[in-house]
Structure 1
Amino acid sequence: MQTLNLVNTDHVEFNAFTLFDTQDHQENNRKLALAEQLQTSLELNSILNIFAMEAARFVEFTGLYFKSDAISGEMRGSKLARKERLFELKINNRYIGTLSYAINKPMSLATFNKLKKLHKLLVHPLNNAMLYQQALSLAMQDGLTGLGNRRQYDQQLKRAMHHANRQGSKVGLIVCDLNKFKAVNDSFGHHIGDQVLINFANALSECVRDSESLFRFGGDEFAIIVEDACEQTLTIIESRIHHAVSCDTLLNNYKVSASLGSTLMTRIDNEDTLFERADSHLYQQKLKQPCRLSVI
């Protein structure tokens, strides 16, 4: 696909007088209706779908895409074309992302300028959607380790189990906690304890694939959701975790190891029973640990 890098670099400021500067009352009413519709959603793809209906009055395109550093989306049914026309979107001279049209025919300068004016109605709804998604991400993230938190775990486990039941596959769950972590916190303070947790989270991250999800519930409690799993998969991941922990210098210095409990879902499981069984296996593993000694 050939790309034409023609960008809009104008200083974009929201000004109602410039948005509705035409004497055509019907056109002004259309713009007002579009502005209202764009404010009805904080979902990026929905905003692009709404905007695409108006943009289609001025140009034929097979796809409409928005991309920023933090988020990307596209119009429903988007398809690539022979060329791409790019617009750089800004708010008060602050770059927010790139809007691109997939086109098969050249875009005239007049059309290009009409779309630039329409984009003034689009930039703030797009920015609101980006801020909303960022807030959602923070609400689902553990502040210390960057892993998913308990809220995200609950949502993802429910979705994964529902998908597995439809596909005839299984979800595996591994729960983890650290041995001697309380002794480290009590003896060396929370600063060292936090670093131990970060190192353990990093060790876990090295042991899973992109399709497997990591979470921290709080304290030293962690969980891994493994989709399309089998007993062998869980055994391999557990082996990797024990190896990664044993190779971590900081965890070794403070004599911290990990206990793991794992299980596979059954057809009668719900989210609670699956977790309870994995947690029970974790407890059995902790009972096998030698008596805890004070950290030296």
Structure 2
Amino acid sequence: MSTVNIVDQPNSKFNAFTLFQQSEQQSQRNLALLKQLQTTLDVKELINIFAFEVAKYIDFSGIYFKHPNINATTKDSRQAKAERQFELKLNGQFFGIITYAVNIPISMTNDKVLTELHELLINPLNNAVQYHQAMQLAMQDSLTQLGNRRSFNEQIKRAMAQANRGQTRVGLIFCDLNKFKAVNDSFGHAIGDNVLIHFAKALQQSVRDTDYVFRFGGDEFSIIVTDASKSSLTVIEQRIYHTMSQDILLAKYNVTSSLGLAFMNTVDDVTSFFLRADQALYSQKMNMPQKFNLASKG
């Protein structure tokens, strides 16, 4: 069972000066919490800091924050007999919902305390959400909505570290379009941009949910294949060519692609892995035999 309360927080209604109009104990509590909430712009960390304070007043097994663009959950959250939801508003506009998983009903006194604490939380939370959104945009290619080179650099490090821990393999596929400049020169940049968008969609349709597609810039793209095998890379390669052949726009302008495939091996760092995939792409474009070896782990 869920109960929803609405907490509306105008920016002008609550600030540090109003703290001193409250009791001394409340003021000290609120100032201490505000100080902690200002130490991070990570949404999940904010919710965990907030949960530590809330635990002084209610017995809960989890706290869940849901915003249209991001969700966060306290560490070790689990289900309970009931849920109590508070709808958060900022300047009269819906901001998000914070949900408490509880086994014991929240008293009216503690309900009031929660409402006051939410007023302290919402502005730091708004700052953190805006920071998250800005970082997401900084990691995204504006034309295709794929991850950009910066996003690739971070994801490849994580993928390689996870593969080493789990004794699995990572595959890399580098992709570019053949004679793309000719399309731009002959038909204009608007058509060229549309070709890039269609190619990006073809790549996304050809990979698994666990894989990642990026655009480096121009007509250069890459795919990180997690838990890879020779067969999985071959299947993705075949899917890319097939999906491109079925795309009306790509077929209309006779757009083809070259792909370079490589596996991470145990001695690879990001640079060496990147260079082998790049060399594989160059080899294919030059119509040279591509060496495609499974590196043994160990």
Q: Same fold (TM over 0.5)?
A: yes
- Residue 4 of structure 1 corresponds to which residue in structure 2? 2
The answer to whether the Cα contact below 8 Å between 1:180 and 1:255 also exists between their aligned partners in 2 is no
* Percent identity for Structure 1 against Structure 2: 51
DSSP 3-state at the match of 2:97: strand
Matched ranges for 1:1-296 at <5 A: 3-10=1-8, 12-13=10-11, 14-16=13-15, 18-22=18-22, 24-288=23-287
The answer to whether the Cα contact below 8 Å between 2:9 and 2:122 also exists between their aligned partners in 1 is no
Q: Distance in 1 between matches of 2:235 and 2:125?
A: 43
Q: What value does the CA root-mean-square deviation take over the aligned residues? A: 1.5
The answer to whether the Cα contact below 8 Å between 2:147 and 2:213 also exists between their aligned partners in 1 is yes
Q: Distance in 1 between matches of 2:161 and 2:267?
A: 12
Q: Which amino acid is 2:164 matched to? A: N
Q: Distance in 1 between matches of 2:92 and 2:19?
A: 17
Q: Distance in 2 between matches of 1:267 and 1:61?
A: 45
1:106-149 per-residue CA deviation (whole Å, 9 max, x = no partner) reads 11222212211111000001111101110110111011000010
DSSP 3-state at the match of 1:261: strand
Q: Tell me the CA shift for residue 189 of structure 1.
A: 1.1
Q: Tell me the CA shift for residue 280 of structure 1.
A: 1.6
Q: Tell me the CA shift for residue 57 of structure 1.
A: 2.1
Q: Distance in 1 between matches of 2:281 and 2:4?
A: 58
Q: Tell me the CA shift for residue 19 of structure 1.
A: 4.6
Q: Distance in 2 between matches of 1:207 and 1:233?
A: 11
Unaligned runs of 5+ in 2: 289-298
Q: Tell me the CA shift for residue 281 of structure 1.
A: 1.6
Q: Tell me the CA shift for residue 10 of structure 1.
A: 4.1
Q: Distance in 2 between matches of 1:112 and 1:205?
A: 47
The answer to whether the Cα contact below 8 Å between 2:64 and 2:74 also exists between their aligned partners in 1 is yes
1:63-117 per-residue CA deviation (whole Å, 9 max, x = no partner) reads 1110111001112222211100000011111111100111001112222122111
Q: Distance in 2 between matches of 1:271 and 1:9?
A: 47
Q: Distance in 1 between matches of 2:280 and 2:56?
A: 62
Q: Distance in 2 between matches of 1:19 and 1:50?
A: 20
DSSP 3-state at the match of 1:255: coil
Structure 1 residues 214, 73: closer, same or farther in 2, change over 3 A?
same
DSSP 3-state at the match of 1:5: strand
The answer to whether the Cα contact below 8 Å between 1:148 and 1:216 also exists between their aligned partners in 2 is yes
Q: Distance in 2 between matches of 1:98 and 1:20?
A: 28
Q: Distance in 2 between matches of 1:9 and 1:40?
A: 23
DSSP 3-state at the match of 2:275: helix
Q: Distance in 1 between matches of 2:253 and 2:187?
A: 10
1:133-182 per-residue CA deviation (whole Å, 9 max, x = no partner) reads 10110111011000010011111111111111121111000000001211
Unaligned runs of 5+ in 1: 290-296
Q: Tell me the CA shift for residue 288 of structure 1.
A: 3.0
Moved more, 66-75 or 234-243: 66-75
1:40-75 per-residue CA deviation (whole Å, 9 max, x = no partner) reads 111112111211122122211111110111001112
Structure 1 residues 15, 167: closer, same or farther in 2, change over 3 A?
same
Q: Which amino acid is 1:21 matched to? A: Q
The answer to whether the Cα contact below 8 Å between 1:20 and 1:31 also exists between their aligned partners in 2 is no
Paired residues in the alignment total: 286
Q: Which amino acid is 1:5 matched to? A: T
